[in-house]
């Protein structure tokens, strides 16, 4: 048993145990949830520590045949890319369980679903088999639906639950069609990602097939990441979800689509990727600028954070669209940073909502006086969201811009403007409205987070943001080699001038690249 299996195995085992425990043993149920998520986090730390930087390829691999006649196997392993994501996912899971103490209604179901959800998504990040990649991700679907419906807030939560479920299923199914087509046309007759990637890099698919499959993966996975204009499920869904679900979903599950693009679409469909980057770079501006602008207009703190989270995803897409080592490394870094940040902000807004029963920003104000800890944490989170140096988002966004600058100058300028100006406007506006100004007498009873134990999840997330912000090599030294290998093998590392020209005429540039030759 490698620590990798524990990372997603423990939450799933926890879910099973919670199911077996009678519902009135509430303390035991909470203990199981906490123990299994802590176990996952510790396993992730061990994995991070034991990860061999010198070694290329996947480590901690487990391979068990499942349906041999179809070429499906339970195959898990890590390289630099999913190592970072697994670590972030395990941390957010633990934080999400910690902030769930206020749940008093139907605790058994709540923790069962939460653990199922986190086990599912962590399993997806660990999987190296297309079938299991999809399978684990879908495992999180029903829990999300029920959790938002039962423990969510707001009058529109019914609408939100259905919207989020339908959108995500549609995205997942479109992606599934793409994955199945990859399987059928690879010639390898296996769902094993490693074999499939190797096979397709040695013998690339015909261009017309690539152009058929890539959009399926791009838009299928794109919908899962709330790619503009398919993003409308996200803000409302997060706005209505209980804090832990918003943390898990915005922080971790949403990253699955990007992960799928990096892991599956980019390595094996290079020709199609070249021709779609222009469209992708326009769409990601939609995320950054349009959703940023929408965030400015929000009056509800959760909706603001939700929209800002969609805007951040634009950066990730920009990094992907650059098809460069720096850009994609930046993208993974932003994924990790944003995962921690989204969990932190949704956790804090959830706490505010518990204390005030509202997240309407005009009703709040002056809360820093009553809640110095929450105020400081929220302020720091907002700074991180603006891309302030010192937080993990900064190096990520910087790398994305470096990567994209050579190939996509115009989108980068606009994105930088969107990120710096627009994000600063709404983030700082929110800080002012919620934390500063006079304290309304009705919030006199509001209390700051009590005790170190309750502060732990926020502190952990913030610490991670700061550690990775001040010392980004902790992540980049694991991510970058994996990304470099990916980019090399797919033939994206064309000399820069050729690349700049080559995007329009990818066919012409292709002959100079061995892996693009057919």
By CB under 8 A, is residue 161 in contact with other proteins?
yes
Tell how strand 59-67 and strand 72-78 pair up: antiparallel
Kindly tell me which of 248 and 510 has the beta carbon lying closer to other proteins: 248
Closest CA relative to residue 332, chosen from 13, 88, 104: 88
* Alpha-carbon dihedral angle through residues 52, 467, 479, 192, given to the nearest 10 degrees: 80
> Peptide bond preceding 229: is omega within 30 degrees of 0, i.e. cis?
yes
Closest CA relative to residue 127, chosen from 188, 185, 54, 179: 179
- Dist. CA 429–CA 297, nearest whole Å: 10
Positive or negative CA dihedral for 391, 382, 241, 263? Answer: negative
Kindly tell me which of 16 and 376 has the beta carbon lying closer to other proteins: 16
What single string gives the DSSP state of each residue in 9-67?
HHHHHHHHHHHHS-TT-HHHHHHHHHHHHHHHHHHHHHHHHH--TT--S-EEEEEEEEE
Burial class (CB in 10 A: 0-12, 13-18, 19+), 260: buried
For residue 168, the minimal CB distance to other proteins (Å) is: 10
- Considering only 109, 129, 192, 433, the residue that binds other proteins (CB under 8 A) is 109
By CB under 8 A, is residue 194 in contact with other proteins?
no
By CB under 8 A, is residue 21 in contact with other proteins?
no
Kindly tell me which of 220 and 243 has the beta carbon lying closer to other proteins: 220
For residue 117, the minimal CB distance to other proteins (Å) is: 13
> Do 36 and 66 touch, CB atoms closer than 8 A?
no
- Dist. CA 269–CA 446, nearest whole Å: 54
- Dist. CA 69–CA 72, nearest whole Å: 8
Kindly tell me which of 157 and 255 has the beta carbon lying closer to other proteins: 157
Is residue 74 classed as helix, strand or coil in its secondary structure? strand
For residue 170, the minimal CB distance to other proteins (Å) is: 5
- Dist. CA 132–CA 304, nearest whole Å: 34
Kindly tell me which of 146 and 401 has the beta carbon lying closer to other proteins: 146
By CB under 8 A, is residue 428 in contact with other proteins?
no
- The residue range among 181-189, 240-248, 420-428, 500-508 that interacts with other proteins, by the rule CB under 8 A, is 181-189
By CB under 8 A, is residue 46 in contact with other proteins?
no
Kindly tell me which of 12 and 422 has the beta carbon lying closer to other proteins: 12
Kindly tell me which of 180 and 424 has the beta carbon lying closer to other proteins: 180
User: Angle 423-435/301-322 helices, nearest 10 degrees?
Assistant: 160
Kindly tell me which of 124 and 377 has the beta carbon lying closer to other proteins: 124
- The residue range among 30-38, 177-185, 355-363, 469-477 that interacts with other proteins, by the rule CB under 8 A, is 177-185
In the numeric block, the tokens 């195995």 are attached to 9
By CB under 8 A, is residue 15 in contact with other proteins?
no
x-marked contacts with other proteins along 112-131 as a string, rule CB under 8 A:
-------------------x
By CB under 8 A, is residue 146 in contact with other proteins?
yes
By CB under 8 A, is residue 274 in contact with other proteins?
no
Kindly tell me which of 7 and 174 has the beta carbon lying closer to other proteins: 174
- Considering only 42, 173, 376, 454, the residue that binds other proteins (CB under 8 A) is 173
**Residue positions counted in the chain:** 518
For residue 237, the minimal CB distance to other proteins (Å) is: 14
- Considering only 38, 42, 46, 139, the residue that binds other proteins (CB under 8 A) is 139
By CB under 8 A, is residue 138 in contact with other proteins?
yes
Kindly tell me which of 157 and 231 has the beta carbon lying closer to other proteins: 157
- Considering only 48, 125, 183, 383, the residue that binds other proteins (CB under 8 A) is 183
By CB under 8 A, is residue 67 in contact with other proteins?
yes
- Dist. CA 95–CA 140, nearest whole Å: 18
Using CB under 8 A, count the residues that bind other proteins. Answer: 34
For residue 174, the minimal CB distance to other proteins (Å) is: 7
For residue 244, the minimal CB distance to other proteins (Å) is: 17
Distances (CA, A) of 5 to 12, 32, 140, 441, 447: 11, 18, 18, 51, 40
- Considering only 110, 145, 383, 443, the residue that binds other proteins (CB under 8 A) is 145
By CB under 8 A, is residue 16 in contact with other proteins?
no
By CB under 8 A, is residue 66 in contact with other proteins?
yes
SS (H, E, C) 370-410: HCHHHHHHHHHHHHHHHCCCCCCHHHHHHHHHHHHHCCCHH
Give kind and range of the element (H or E) at residue 77: strand 72-78
Q: b/e string for 69-105 if b means 16 or more Cβ within 10 A? A: eebbbbbbbbbbbbbbbbbbbbbbbbbbbbbbeebee
For residue 408, the minimal CB distance to other proteins (Å) is: 31
Instruction: Please give the residue ranges that form the binding site for other proteins (CB under 8 A).
Output: 23, 66-70, 106, 109, 131, 134-135, 138-139, 141-142, 145-146, 149-150, 158, 161-162, 165-166, 169-170, 173-174, 176-177, 180-181, 183-184
């Amino acid at each position: 048993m490698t620590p990798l299996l524990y990372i997603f195995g423990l939450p799933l085992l926890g879910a099973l145990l919670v199911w077996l425990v009678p519902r009135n043993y509430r303390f035991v149920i909470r203990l199981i949830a906490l123990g299994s998520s802590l176990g996952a986090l510790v396993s992730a730390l061990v994995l991070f520590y034991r990860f061999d930087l010198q070694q290329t390829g996947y480590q901690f691999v487990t391979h068990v045949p499942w349906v041999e006649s179809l070429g499906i196997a339970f195959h898990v392993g890590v390289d630099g890319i999913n190592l970072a994501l697994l670590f972030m996912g395990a941390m957010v899971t633990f934080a999400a369980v910690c902030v769930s103490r206020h749940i008093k209604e139907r605790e058994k179901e709540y923790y069962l679903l939460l653990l199922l959800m986190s086990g599912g998504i962590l399993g997806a990040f660990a999987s190296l088999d297309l079938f299991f990649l999809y399978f684990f991700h879908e495992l999180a679907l029903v829990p999300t639906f029920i959790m938002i419906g039962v423990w969510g807030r707001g009058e529109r939560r019914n609408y939100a639950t259905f919207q989020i479920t339908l959108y995500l299923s549609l995205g997942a199914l479109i992606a599934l069609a793409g994955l199945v087509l990859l399987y059928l046309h690879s010639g390898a007759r296996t769902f094993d990602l490693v074999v499939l990637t190797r096979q397709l890099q040695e013998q690339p698919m015909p261009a017309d097939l690539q152009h058929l499959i890539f959009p399926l993966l791009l838009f299928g996975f794109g919908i899962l990441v709330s790619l503009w204009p398919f993003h409308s499920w996200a803000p409302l869904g997060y706005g209505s979800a209980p804090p832990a679900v918003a943390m898990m979903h915005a922080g971790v599950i949403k990253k699955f689509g990007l992960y799928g693009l990096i892991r599956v679409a980019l390595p094996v469909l290079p020709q199609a990727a070249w021709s779609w980057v222009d469209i992708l770079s326009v769409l990601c501006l939609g995320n950054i600028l349009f959703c940023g602008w929408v965030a400015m207009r929000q009056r509800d703190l959760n909706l603001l954070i939700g929209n800002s989270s969609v805007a951040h995803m634009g950066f990730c897409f920009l990094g992907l669209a650059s098809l460069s080592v720096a850009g994609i490394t930046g993208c993974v870094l932003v994924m990790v940073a944003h995962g921690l940040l989204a969990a932190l902000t949704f956790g804090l807004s959830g706490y505010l909502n518990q204390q005030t029963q509202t997240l309407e920003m005009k009703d709040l104000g002056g809360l820093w006086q009553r809640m110095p800890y929450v105020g400081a944490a929220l302020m720091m989170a907002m700074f991180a969201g603006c891309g302030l140096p010192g937080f993990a988002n900064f190096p990520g966004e910087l790398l994305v811009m470096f990567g994209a600058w050579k190939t996509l100058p115009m989108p980068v300028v606009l994105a930088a403007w969107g990120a710096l100006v627009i994000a600063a406007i709404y983030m700082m506006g929110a800080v002012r409205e919620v934390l500063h100004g006079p304290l309304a007498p009705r919030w006199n009873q509001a209390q700051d987070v009590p005790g170190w134990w309750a502060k732990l999840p926020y502190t952990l997330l913030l610490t991670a943001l700061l550690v990775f912000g001040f010392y980004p090599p902790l992540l980049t030294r694991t991510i970058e080699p994996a990304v470099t290998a990916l980019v090399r093998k797919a033939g994206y590392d064309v000399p820069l001038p050729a690349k700049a020209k080559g995007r329009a005429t990818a066919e012409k540039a292709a002959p100079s690249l061995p892996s693009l030759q057919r």
